[in-house]
Amino acid sequence: MKITFKALVYAVAFTCFFSAAKAQIIIPDSVRIGLGASIASTNGNNFGVAVNKAIGDDAKSAYNFGAGLALNVDVPIFSSMYITASAGYMSFFKTANASKSQQAIAGINTPNFNTIPLKLGYKFIIGNRFYVNAEAGETLLANKKALYAMYGNAFTWSPSIGLLMPFTKHHHQYIDASLRYESTQTFYNDNNLNNFWALRVTYAFNL
């Protein structure tokens, strides 16, 4: 399943670069709104709740994949620079490894790991289609009580790269495809980080 996700990322990246090589667009300097959907693959062995492991065995994450929605707002401050704001909802789905979590061992069902990321940042347009985006903010844990977490929010940072692809018959409307890495500090009293890669496809339009 991990290989399939990586293959999807490579396929989208190739398509984006090929598309960008064919034509350029002029991006209006006005506020842009986007609503998108993401699929995510967690990175590391300790995402979410802690997982106990046998002696000599490797720890495995209780959550491997996730999906979510996000609302994005881009406000221009220069011709190729935007201030960005985003709010979303991400749900990470538990795997069989969740049965080895500390909660499960104590007889408590381990639910999905549901988060609400709230971030601000900067976006730089490279050429006419490509961009890089860096954001930081707070991620709220939507089901803190169910997960027996100590904290309900944690610092988050997220760099991403993306490409705007316009609709041919509709001016100032785009498909925005991006790949991001997101890291959130722990919601428990430990040193774990909640890291994941996400591929997002967004419908965006200029006001």
Query: For the chain, which residues make up each domain, given as ranges?
Result: 2-206
Cα gap 101→42, rounded to integer Å: 16
| Residue 200: band (very low, low, confident or very high) from pLDDT cuts 50, 70, 90 | very high
> What is the arithmetic mean of pLDDT over 26-43?
88
What does the pLDDT read at residue 109? Answer: 80
> What is the arithmetic mean of pLDDT over 24-29?
59
Using alpha carbons, select from 179, 163, 155, 170 the residue that is nearest to residue 206: 170
What does the pLDDT read at residue 171? Answer: 72
Q: Which of 25-34, 111-120, 136-145, 187-196 has the lowest mean pLDDT?
A: 25-34
* Integer angstrom CA distances of residue 56 from 53, 98, 105, 142, 186: 8, 19, 19, 34, 25
What does the pLDDT read at residue 155? Answer: 97
> pLDDT over 70 for what percent of the chain?
83
> pLDDT over 90 for what percent of the chain?
54
- Residue 31 phi/psi, 5-degree rounding, is -60, 135
What does the pLDDT read at residue 204? Answer: 95
Q: Which of 23-32, 108-117, 178-187 has the lowest mean pLDDT?
A: 23-32
What does the pLDDT read at residue 7? Answer: 52
pTM assigned to the model: 0.82
Helix locations, 128-206, DSSP H: 144-147
Q: Which of 9-13, 24-28, 77-81, 108-112 has the lowest mean pLDDT?
A: 9-13
Q: Is residue 161 a contact partner of residue 131, using CB atoms and an 8 Å limit? A: yes
What does the pLDDT read at residue 139? Answer: 98
Beta bridge partners of 132: 124, 161
Contacts of 137 (CB under 8 A, 6+ apart): 117, 118, 119, 120, 155, 156
What does the pLDDT read at residue 169? Answer: 72
CATH of 2-206, one of 2.40.160.20, 2.60.40.10, 3.30.420.40, 2.130.10.10: 2.40.160.20
